[in-house]
Structure 1
Amino acid sequence: MRDYYYTYVLRSLKDGKNYTGYTQNLKLRFEQHINGEVASTKHRRPLILIYFEGCLDKQDATHREKYLKTHYGKLFLKNRLKQWSYDESNLI
């Protein structure tokens, strides 16, 4: 079976800002963020996963991550998530 990569966006509930990254194991990487094992998000917890997309290979995922960090990528996310609303009561 083919190995996929994922580009993902987390939102900090502490400062309201987004963090964009990529990984081959989305569940494990999200757990690392939640547990404070990632230096860049350790002090921005709690975090929620607000967006992810699958990529066919690492190069595709890194290009997509870089795009989502640009002005146009942020506009894409804003438009993509405009109907999304977050409800703390649904958090586990």
Structure 2
Amino acid sequence: MWYVYIIRSINFPDQEYVGATEDLKRRIPEHNAGKSAHTSKFKPWQLVWYCAFPDKYKALAFEKYLKSHSGRAFAKKRL
């Protein structure tokens, strides 16, 4: 399974990050440990939403959509 997820910074609530991973239980602690250059300055993070996909490419396509302008609007309104 592949997961698309949204995390939100605890100290900077306006900061959100969308990502995809095969191991969600490992990935969130990695964000909080500062192992990602994109998220290290806004740690700690909390998981806001995730969705499981049986196919890697569908997960990556949905992640790309959520990072687009219309995808951000969809996530803000629906997720």
TM-score by length of 1: 0.77
Structure having the higher strand fraction is: 2
Alignment of 1:49-88 (within 5 A): 49-81=47-79
Unaligned runs of 5+ in 2: none
Indicate the SS of the match to 2:18.
Answer: strand
Shift of 1:36: 1.3
Indicate the SS of the match to 2:34.
Answer: coil
Amino acid at match of 1:23: T
Among 44, 47, 68, which residue is 2:45 paired with?
47
Higher-Rg structure is: 1
Cα RMSD (Å): 1.2
| Aligned mates of 1:71, 1:13 — CA distance in 2 | 23
Residue 14 of structure 1: aligned partner: 11
Unaligned runs of 5+ in 1: 82-92
Q: Which has the higher contact order (CA 8 A, sep 6+)?
A: 2
TM-score by length of 2: 0.89
Misfit runs of 4+, over 2 Å: none
